[in-house]
Chains A and B, each alone.
Chain A
Amino acid sequence: GIQVEQSPPDLILQEGANSTLRCNFSDSVNNLQWFHQNPWGQLINLFYIPSGTKQNGRLSATTVATERYSLLYISSSQTTDSGVYFCAVGRNQGGKLIFGQGTELSVKP
C-alpha cells in the first residue's frame, strides 16, 4: 500500500513564527488532504489538494504530485494553531485515505 511520511514529527514555535510541514508519499495519488486535529481530538479539514497550490488565510498548501510530496505552510502562527497536523492520501478522489503519523505543533505565547 501507499506509504505516507510526515516531517518533522514535532515542532515548537514562538507565536508569530512561520513553519513548513512536509508530507512525502510513495505512489501516485488522486486525493490528498491536510487535517488539523485540535487538543479535543476533532479533525478539521484544512485543504483538499491533490495538486497545485491553495491558500486560506494564514495557511497555504502546495502539492507536487509528480514528485510525490506536499507542503503545508503556516504563517504568523498563533497558539490556537497548536495540535497535530495530518496529511492523508488516496488513490481515488473518493475511497479510503492513508494517514501519515502527523506533525505535532506547539505554539508558545
Chain B
Amino acid sequence: DTGVSQNPRHKITKRGQNVTFRCDPISEHNRLYWYRQTLGQGPEFLTYFQNEAQLEKSRLLSDRFSAERPKGSFSTLEIQRTEQGDSAMYLCASSPQPGKSGELFFGEGSRLTVL
C-alpha cells in the first residue's frame, strides 16, 4: 500500500495558463475526493467520486475547474485560464467503499502558484 499519490507536487504557472493535477488513490478505495487549502485555513471540499461517477461538486468549483476519474482509478483536476486567486494547495484523498469506515486518507498535495 503506497498511500495516496499526487503530482506534480509543485506547479508555478502564469495567469491564464491551464494546469492539470493527477491523483492516484489507495488501490482498494473506490471514493476519491479533491479539496483546496489556502494559507491559514482548513481544507475546503471541491468534489468527490465514487468509482467513475462524480457524486457532488462544490459551488467553489467554477466553470474553469473540471475533474475526471475515467476508469474509477486515478483522477485529474484541471484548472483552465488560471487566476491568481487559484493559488492554493490542492489535496486529494481517498476512502474505502461505503459501509466500511468513512476514514479519509490524504496525499501530500499539489501546491499551485499563479504569477
Contact = CB atoms under 8 A, between A and B. Distances in A.
Partners in one complex: yes
A41 B42 contact: no
27 contacts: A4-B42, A40-B108, A43-B91, A43-B93, A43-B106, A45-B104, A48-B102, A86-B43, A88-B42, A92-B102, A93-B98, A93-B101, A94-B31, A94-B50, A94-B95, A94-B98, A95-B48, A95-B55, A95-B56, A95-B102, A96-B45, A97-B45, A97-B104, A98-B45, A99-B42, A99-B43, A99-B44
A31 to B, nearest CB: 5
Interface in A43-93: 43-45, 48, 86, 88, 90, 92-93
Contact of A102 (B42, B48, B104): B42
Contacts of A92: 102
A35 B91 CA distance: 14
**Size band of the A side of the interface?**
20 to 34
Interface in B79-107: 89, 91, 93, 95, 98-99, 101-106
Interface residues of B, number: 27
Interface string B19-53: 00000000000010100000001111100101000
Contacts of A4: 42
A90 B102 contact: yes
Given A42-B108, A86-B42, A96 B91 contact: no
A28 interface: no
Interface of B: 31, 33, 41-45, 48, 50, 55-56, 58, 89, 91, 93, 95, 98-99, 101-106, 108-109, 111
Contacts of A44: 106
Contacts of A101: 41-42
A33 interface: yes
Interface in A21-41: 31, 33, 35, 40-41
